[in-house]
Amino acid sequence: MPAEREYDYRTKITLAVSADGRRIGLHPFERADRVFDLRRCHIAVPELMTLWEALRPLRSLTPPRLERLVLRLDRTGGRHVVFRVKSGEAWTGGGRLHDELVRRNVTATLWWQPEGGVARAVAGAAEAFPATVFEQVHPEMGDRVRAFALELLGAAGGRAVWDLYAGVGETTALLAAAGARVESVESDARAVAEAEARGPRARRLTGRVEHVLGQLRAPELVVTNPPRIGMDQRVTAALERLGPERLVYVSCDPATLARDLTRLPGYRLSALKAFDLFPQTAHVETVALLERAS
């Protein structure tokens, strides 16, 4: 399915910092040593480019030992900047940078995240959306993918459904609203907390899917949306053993989708559709329906 917008669609961009710290921007594929100074990214939403135009001249106010910088627009329209640093003491200059952005008529929540640590909001909205949790970077197309996945899943009312790799719980919320008995699994505790705050009641487990399988009830239907690496072999083995009637697999990497299908020999591929979630790139989002073969 083609995207309606091929430019100005992306709600998150991650910028690299050159080794000498003088340039912040992007770099050619597999050439992280060639960071070029970014002026404008044509696939990012205008709200993020307005933020970047205000932030670029304020480089001297950003945290020391900066490694990456993430710009993000959340579903409520809130803007975020996540400063990922290599190490060091907590950054105390967030308030000053925030004030300078406000002087330029730009508002954003600023986050400081040390290497291997948890991001912490240092300036901006007190109750901000957690800027580091996973959401689709092309929201309109993400909604289409979700709607198609649930259409393939079929009637879920009253049925036991797993929502694996559930993120902030958007699919869980739709399933619960349809009357399904949903159990969702997500490894990011902040995403689970956000799902609890925004969505209807459901049984939510926090942890890696392969680690919590023993705590789940046998499903009749399954929706799975793993990261690019696909599902752990322990997960496919459990699905093969438990034998839910239908399994809808949402994948951001056709190669790992194909690998995982070979690990589910008891299922037949009944439907497959690709969505252009990432225009101007070689990546697609794929939705597959698997039905029990016997």
Structural domains of the chain sorted by starting position, each given as residue range(s) with its CATH number in brackets: 12-123 (2.40.50.1070), 139-292 (3.40.50.150)
Q: Whole-prediction pTM value?
A: 0.89
Q: Which of 23-32, 149-158, 236-245 has the lowest mean pLDDT?
A: 23-32
CA–CA dist 191, 90 (Å, integer): 24
Average pLDDT score over residue span 197-202? 77
Joined together, the tokens standing for residue 247 give: 């399994």
CA angle, corner 51, sides to 50 and 55, nearest 5?
Answer: 120
Q: What is the mean pLDDT of the chain?
A: 92
Q: What is the pLDDT of residue 4?
A: 86
Q: Does the annotation mark 41 as catalytic?
A: no
Q: Is the pLDDT of residue 98 over 80?
A: yes
Q: What percent of the chain has pLDDT over 90?
A: 74
Q: Which is higher by pLDDT, 196 or 290?
A: 290
CA–CA dist 78, 131 (Å, integer): 10
Q: Residue 213 CA to chain centroid, in angstroms?
A: 22
Q: What is the pLDDT of residue 126?
A: 65
Q: Give the model confidence (pLDDT) of 165-195 as tens digits.
A: 999 899 999 999 999 999 999 998 888 988 8
Q: Is the pLDDT of residue 21 over 90?
A: no
CA–CA dist 290, 270 (Å, integer): 6
- Options 222, 247, 252, 289, the catalytic residue: 252
